[in-house]
Amino acid sequence: MSNFKTHIYSGIFSYPLFMLIYYLIGRNIDSSFILGMNAVSLAFVFYVIGSDLPDLDSNTALIKRSMQFILMIFFTLFFYNIINDSSIHNKIYDFVSVDYLVVFISFTFSLILGFLVSKGLDLLNHRGFFHTFWAAAIYAFFTFSILNLNIFNSFNFDLNEFETTFITVSSFTGYSLHLVIDHFSSSFKENKFL
């Protein structure tokens, strides 16, 4: 287990190189491949967050507890936006026929889902699930889902498909970088002390 600083710095400083490699591959596949400033900036944020996200379990109790609440709020808003973007919203309206009741029901339902997911993540966390490539894939999936929410598009980031894919792959790579560094730092320590 490496510490917070190692992971964050490795994330920050390896990002330009990752972007360059991605650009080279992208250009080879499609000559019109281009990444705008918004995509480069957003991918950086998701990449660097990913590079320390697996260590939520090894941080101090205070950070862990506040993270749990932040995740709960985040997932509540995530589900609330999904409900609003989907046909579930209309189905609730068909059922109650009052607009503010639709808001009340969909928000409360999102809150319960957000609570359950944050509790579920906490359970998985104790079993070391965060230090697996499955978790990296889930993080990438969440990034992709966020980029496709209507509320995200209202910020006018104006991303094309190349860019959405790039940000999603950046999340996965940043997260995976953490796992690779943990792997090598633990085998390095083993060699040193045996």
Give me the residues that bind Zn ion (CB under 5 A), please.
54-55, 182
Nearer to Zn ion, 113 or 124 (CB): 124
Within a 10 A sphere around the Cβ of 67, how many other Cβ atoms? 19
Shortest spacing between CB 183 and Zn ion, in angstroms: 9
| C-beta separation of 106 from 80 below 8 A | yes
Of the candidates 57, 70, 46, the residue with the CA atom closest to the CA atom of residue 168: 46
Nearer to Zn ion, 11 or 54 (CB): 54
| C-beta separation of 185 from 1 below 8 A | yes
- What values do phi and psi take at 114, rounded to 5? -60, -40
Shortest spacing between CB 146 and Zn ion, in angstroms: 23
Shortest spacing between CB 57 and Zn ion, in angstroms: 8
Nearer to Zn ion, 55 or 163 (CB): 55
Nearer to Zn ion, 129 or 144 (CB): 129
Nearer to Zn ion, 3 or 160 (CB): 3
Shortest spacing between CB 48 and Zn ion, in angstroms: 15
Chain mean position to CA 119: 17
DSSP state of 86: S
| Joined tokens for residue 41 | 């900036």
Shortest spacing between CB 63 and Zn ion, in angstroms: 14
| C-beta separation of 54 from 130 below 8 A | yes
